[in-house]
Amino acid sequence: MKGEIDRSKLPKHIAIIMDGNGRWASKRALPRVFGHKAGMEALREAVKGCSDLGVKILTVYAFSTENWNRPTDEVSFLMNLLIEYMRKEINELNKNNVKVKILGDISGLPKVTREEVEKAVSLTENNEGIQFNIALNYGSRAEIICACKKIAEEFKEGKISSEEITEELISEYLFTKGDIDPDLIIRTSGEKRLSNFLLWQSAYSELIFVEEMWPDFNKQLLERAILEYQNRDRRFGLVK
């Protein structure tokens, strides 16, 4: 795609489905986990790229509620990779003013993984640079069910009336509470679906599917996706 990124029309919130780690590795006759390891490097570059450009929020799908059904060895590898990622990256993230936030229920993660994640969140909580949302043990339907249950409880207790149940109110009960909805969702590896990611929040997101596998995602591909986004006509259901 030709042209330059218009800095005044950047997507404020970019969300990424980092898909294709396993296929990237298989193509190289390597075990799948090598793909995850390479995916971690691509993630570092994506955070830096978005932060340098001035994107306000980057959300990545790191581990879904369905991913627990993968082979035990792969799940353990990913849980350990998260520890490695946090330990390796946290000082750099903090130095760059990145604020880490988790989307998902991390109470079910192995203890050490949970502790490292919690440490990263608390260390960076007052940072005012890019907000880096990591969706971990995240599933959008579960998130919506959880919101419905909380709202039902508060309704029962008389704390909210049915008239008060609006889009804004529901958004306040999701993990993304306080965040603007993603303007742009990128999925790598050529798959074209959302896979239970940000279903409520993506109502008006632009979706961009790139053919490259996640470990091959880089600054150029990020910029190309942003450029394509800037060439889209966002109407939000209105007529121009």
What's the min distance (Å) between Cβ of 232 and ligand FPP? 25
What's the min distance (Å) between Cβ of 79 and ligand FPP? 9
Q: Mark whether 69 is an active-site residue.
A: no
Which among 219, 144, 229 is positioned nearest to 183, based on CA atoms?
229
Query: Whose Cβ is closer to ligand FPP: residue 172's or residue 212's?
Result: 212
Euclidean distance between CA atoms 114 and 83, whole angstroms:
9
Q: For every residue of 165-191, which 3-state class applies, written as one string?
A: CCHHHHHHCCCCCCCCCCCEEEECCCC
Query: Whose Cβ is closer to ligand FPP: residue 80's or residue 127's?
Result: 80
Which residue sits closest to ligand FPP, CB atoms considered? 22
What's the min distance (Å) between Cβ of 240 and ligand FPP? 37
Euclidean distance between CA atoms 234 and 239, whole angstroms:
10
User: How does DSSP classify residue 69?
Assistant: G
Euclidean distance between CA atoms 117 and 56, whole angstroms:
21
* Rg for the chain, CA atoms, rounded: 18
Query: Which among 19, 133, 137, 183 is annotated as catalytic?
Result: 19
Could you tell me the two tokens for 129? 């640079």
Lookup result for tokens 């296929």: 23
In sequence order, the β-bridge partners of residue 135 are: 61, 103
Please report, as ranges, the residues that interact with ligand FPP according to CB under 6 A: 18-23, 36, 39-40, 43, 62, 67, 81-82, 85, 134, 189, 214
What's the min distance (Å) between Cβ of 63 and ligand FPP? 6
Residues 6 or more apart in contact with residue 238 via CB below 8 angstroms:
none
Query: Whose Cβ is closer to ligand FPP: residue 33's or residue 151's?
Result: 33
Instruction: Mark out the alpha helices in 157-200 (DSSP H runs).
Output: 167-172
Query: Whose Cβ is closer to ligand FPP: residue 43's or residue 226's?
Result: 43
What's the min distance (Å) between Cβ of 1 and ligand FPP? 25
Query: Whose Cβ is closer to ligand FPP: residue 181's or residue 212's?
Result: 212
Which among 167, 125, 133 is positioned nearest to 56, based on CA atoms?
133
Query: Which among 67, 94, 196, 218 is annotated as catalytic?
Result: 67
Q: Mark whether 91 is an active-site residue.
A: no
Q: Which residues are part of the catalytic machinery?
A: 19, 67
